[in-house]
């Protein structure tokens, strides 16, 4: 019986399993759920940055913004 | 039909105008030549969203009749141009670069199109854009209905976004000028990457009526051209009060090179780390030489520290909240999933949850930033920084894979694109050399409504250099 040698198995043989897993992980596109979580995490980090800023009480928002 | 050679495809507006006045060729000849060139070569750079050859030829014929009858309408009369495909042109698709809007047709022109039409400029086509001008944040340059914008200097490199088509089309000589848009970097980036002169006007100076909204308080429309002078001539036409744009500043722009202050009276500032440390090593010689040329014009150049404030976080919160509100129907209907870029889809969905307190706080900090920057402009007339830190990235590179080399260096104008957009400041992009055989550029940033001063500095710089006249190989 012929054993099927896939590119992944060949790479595992040559490089060692951990290295291949690491490469595979970086090359695999994130899932939509992972992307959504990453986007939410970024906005949470933004929120934390804003929360750390001291703004004087008399500063109004730049709503009707005019340069 | 008159013979129109390659020099004409790279001519400035005054040069084209002189040809038309001399009768070297007609406006119809010029319209036919550019429309054909744009249609043939635009797809080579994924720069073309919609060719408009019949409209161009008809308009060229009208212009010829006007010129014959002595109805002269200024330097843009008979000059072909293109608009980013988020600007409406009545009766033709305006896709915003995105599949969910592929069939969208407006029955009115954007104000900028009407203004250009009124002075006899000749629309030749709609030019490509990153989908929704990049709203939500995209991972790959391929985030567009027309595919990744390819750089005319090297098609393995990105033309920049989100005004990919305007940058590439002007660089490749497919149109003499184009109108693009910027919310945060979408004019500065493609102009820098493609080696094109471009102007991001003061917020509110150019009407956005008829252009896709991404952020009501950040969006601007501006010109891409062959020179600072071209940008001034275009801005004079497209600027002005417009009751249809709630953000309109209510003022016009008169291009007045004859009244420019002498360079020796103007003060400029830069942060050395931007040029010595944050810039890509390959681009540093070009940036250093550009600074030297600016100093040679007599400009008083000093070193300063850039106010360190959370520009990125403030811009991110404002943009996310406004784009989520604008695209709420797209997001809640599920059609957002038709976008090409998965990261962008996720970004738009996540933006729906930005708390009101974050948006309000960001807008309050923005007010503080605006005050701080205006105080800075009490001391200097212009800030000088690299347009981008280096040449165009590879078209296959991820755009969210960390910042450019030197991004962690403190003390420079880090965030000048975000800060400039948050404060509504104008910026002029000037090609200033090459790195890795690709263009790099400077940006000059001034206080609100300082366009004439920026353009004057740009003219002086371009009188001493020829970077803006270089042509991409294979585009002649």
What would the 3-class secondary structure string for B388-441 be? CCCCCCECCCCCCCCCCCCCCCCCCCCCHHHHHHHCCCCEEEEEEEEECCEEEE
**Which chain A residues touch B374 with a CB distance below 8 Å?**
none
* Predicted TM-score (pTM) of this structure: 0.93
Which tens digits make up the pLDDT trace of B119-134? Answer: 999 999 999 999 999 9
**Which chain A residues touch B373 with a CB distance below 8 Å?**
none
C-alpha span between B261 and A4 (Å, rounded): 77
pLDDT value of residue B410? 60
Q: Is B415 left (phi over 0), alpha (psi -120 to 50) or beta?
A: left
- Cβ of A36 within 8 Å of Cβ of B346? The answer is yes
Q: Which of B326, B460, B308, B283 is nearest to B369 (CA)?
A: B308
- CATH code, B8-257: 3.90.1300.10
pLDDT value of residue A10? 47
The terminus-to-terminus CA distance of chain B in angstroms comes to 20
Catalytic residues of B: 84, 162, 186
Residues of chain B with pLDDT below 70 are 1-2, 402-412, 476
C-alpha span between A58 and B243 (Å, rounded): 31
Rounded-to-5 percentages of helix, strand, coil across chain A: 60, 0, 40
User: Backbone phi, then psi, for B377, in 5-degree steps?
Assistant: -75, 0
Comparing alpha-carbon positions, the chain B residue that sits nearest to A58 is: B364
Q: What is the band of A6 on the pLDDT scale with cuts at 50, 70, 90?
A: low
**Which chain B residues touch A50 with a CB distance below 8 Å?**
310, 313-314, 317, 358, 361-362, 365
Which tens digits make up the pLDDT trace of B273-315? Answer: 999 999 999 999 999 999 999 999 999 999 998 888 999 999 9
- Cβ of A65 within 8 Å of Cβ of B358? The answer is no
Q: Domain residue spans in chain B?
A: 8-257
Comparing alpha-carbon positions, the chain A residue that sits nearest to B316 is: A46
Which one of B138, B208, B313 makes the best mutation probe of the A interface by having the most chain A beta carbons within 10 Å? Answer: B313
pLDDT value of residue A13? 46
SS3 B95: coil
Comparing alpha-carbon positions, the chain A residue that sits nearest to B249 is: A66
Which tens digits make up the pLDDT trace of B143-181? Answer: 999 999 999 999 999 999 999 999 999 999 999 999 999
pLDDT value of residue A4? 53
**Which chain B residues touch A39 with a CB distance below 8 Å?**
136-137, 343, 346-347, 349-351
Beta-sheet strands, E only, within B142-193: 150-151, 154-158, 177-182
pLDDT value of residue B475? 79
C-alpha span between B8 and A54 (Å, rounded): 56
Nearest CB to A59; choose among B317, B351, B367: B367
């Amino acid at each position: 019986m012929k054993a099927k040698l896939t590119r992944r198995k060949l790479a595992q043989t040559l490089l060692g399993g951990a290295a291949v897993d690491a490469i595979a992980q970086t090359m695999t596109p994130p899932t939509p759920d992972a992307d959504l979580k990453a986007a939410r995490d970024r906005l949470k980090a933004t929120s934390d940055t804003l929360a750390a800023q001291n703004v004087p009480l008399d500063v109004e928002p730049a709503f009707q913004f005019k340069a | 039909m008159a013979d129109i050679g390659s020099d004409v495809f790279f001519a400035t507006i005054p040069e084209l105008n002189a040809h038309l006045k001399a009768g070297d060729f007609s406006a119809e000849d010029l319209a036919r030549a550019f429309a054909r060139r744009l249609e043939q070569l635009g797809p080579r750079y994924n720069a073309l969203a919609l060719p408009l050859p019949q409209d161009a030829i008809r308009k060229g014929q009208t212009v010829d009749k006007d010129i014959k009858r002595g109805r002269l309408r200024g330097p843009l009369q008979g000059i072909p141009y293109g608009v980013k495909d988020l600007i409406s042109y009545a009766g033709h698709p305006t896709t915003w670069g995105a599949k969910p809007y592929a069939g969208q047709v407006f029955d009115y022109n954007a104000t900028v199109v009407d203004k250009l039409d009124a002075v006899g400029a000749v629309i030749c086509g709609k030019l490509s854009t990153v989908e929704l001008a990049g709203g939500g944040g995209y991972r790959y340059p391929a985030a567009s209905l027309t595919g990744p914008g390819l750089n005319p200097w090297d098609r393995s490199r990105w033309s920049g976004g989100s005004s990919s088509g305007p940058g590439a089309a002007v660089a490749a000589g497919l149109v003499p000028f184009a109108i693009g848009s910027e919310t945060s970097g979408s004019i500065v980036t493609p102009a820098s990457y493609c080696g094109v002169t471009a102007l991001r006007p003061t917020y509110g100076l150019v009407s956005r009526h008829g252009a896709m909204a991404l952020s009501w308080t950040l969006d601007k429309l501006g010109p891409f051209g062959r020179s600072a002078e071209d940008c001034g001539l275009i801005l004079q036409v497209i600027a002005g009060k417009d009751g249809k744009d709630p953000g309109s500043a209510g003022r016009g722009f008169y291009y007045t090179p004859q009244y420019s202050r002498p360079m020796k009276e103007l003060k400029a500032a830069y942060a050395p780390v931007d040029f010595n440390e944050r810039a890509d090593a390959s681009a540093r010689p070009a940036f250093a030489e550009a600074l030297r040329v600016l100093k040679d014009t007599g400009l008083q150049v000093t070193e300063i520290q850039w106010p360190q404030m959370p520009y990125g976080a403030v811009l991110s919160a404002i943009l996310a909240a406004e784009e989520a509100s604008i695209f709420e129907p797209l997001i809640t209907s599920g059609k957002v999933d038709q976008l090409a870029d998965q990261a962008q889809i996720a970004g738009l969905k996540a933006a729906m949850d930005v708390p009101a307190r974050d948006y309000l706080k960001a807008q309050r900090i923005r007010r503080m930033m605006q005050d701080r920057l205006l105080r800075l402009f009490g001391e200097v007339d212009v800030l000088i920084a690299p347009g981008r830190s280096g040449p165009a990235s590879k078209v296959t590179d991820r755009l969210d894979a960390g910042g450019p080399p030197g991004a962690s260096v403190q003390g420079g104008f880090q965030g000048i694109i975000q800060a400039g957009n948050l404060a509504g400041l104008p910026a002029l992009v000037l090609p200033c050399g090459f790195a890795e055989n690709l263009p790099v550029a400077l940006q000059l940033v001034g206080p609100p409504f300082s366009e004439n001063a920026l353009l004057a500095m740009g003219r002086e710089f371009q009188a001493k250099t020829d970077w803006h006249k270089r042509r991409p190989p294979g585009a002649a």
